[in-house]
Structure 1
């Protein structure tokens, strides 16, 4: 997920759930602001032994990291919806 604040775009991993008609989300992990967030993802890809324990405990792995990088680079989510963090 991306979030804009103070003129910067932040890349966050959030978990959402629905209770009735309301949707609640909880931030799981922040990669930081762009373009540093993408650089951090590249670094984690190149140093898999440093993959955050917090993400491992939530069930995420390097396959997910590759998906997140792909989403940012192509500016498209897996479902085809736009995901532009550079504009």
Structure 2
């Protein structure tokens, strides 16, 4: 099945107890069924953005698990732009849980 098989990951938002949480997931396809595999939890939306800013200023603090998964400073910069603008780098509008 064609789709996002080649993508590194994308954001998923979940709302619990009035707070929005940010997760990085990867989609896998098997027998024409999509399954999202969680890669990393950034926590609450406000905290996630602050952490991303800190990691961009000092990349040494970037979580090793994300580095092991192949994510770079450029990916980090794209994530910040995505959360700030509400649009992905491909122009898709984010569906943030309401």
TM-score, length of structure 2 as denominator length:
0.79
Query: Is the alpha carbon distance of 1:86 and 1:28 closer, same or farther for their aligned partners in structure 2, counting shifts above 3 Å?
Result: closer
Structure 1 residue 53 and structure 2 residue 64: aligned? Answer: yes
Offset at residue 48 of structure 1 (A):
0.7
Pick 1 or 2: higher relative contact order, CA cutoff 8 A, min separation 6: 2
Question: What SS does the corresponding residue of 2:80 show, helix, strand or coil?
Answer: helix
Q: Which residue, 11, 15, 18 being the options, matches 1:7? A: 18
TM-score, length of structure 1 as denominator length:
0.88
Answer yes or no: is the 8 Å Cα contact 1:45–1:62 preserved in 2.
Answer: yes
Offset at residue 84 of structure 1 (A):
5.7
> Structure 2: which 5+ residue stretches go unaligned?
1-10
Residues 12-21 or 63-72, more deviating: 12-21
Offset at residue 36 of structure 1 (A):
1.0
Q: Which residue of 1 aligns with 2:36?
A: 25
Offset at residue 22 of structure 1 (A):
1.3
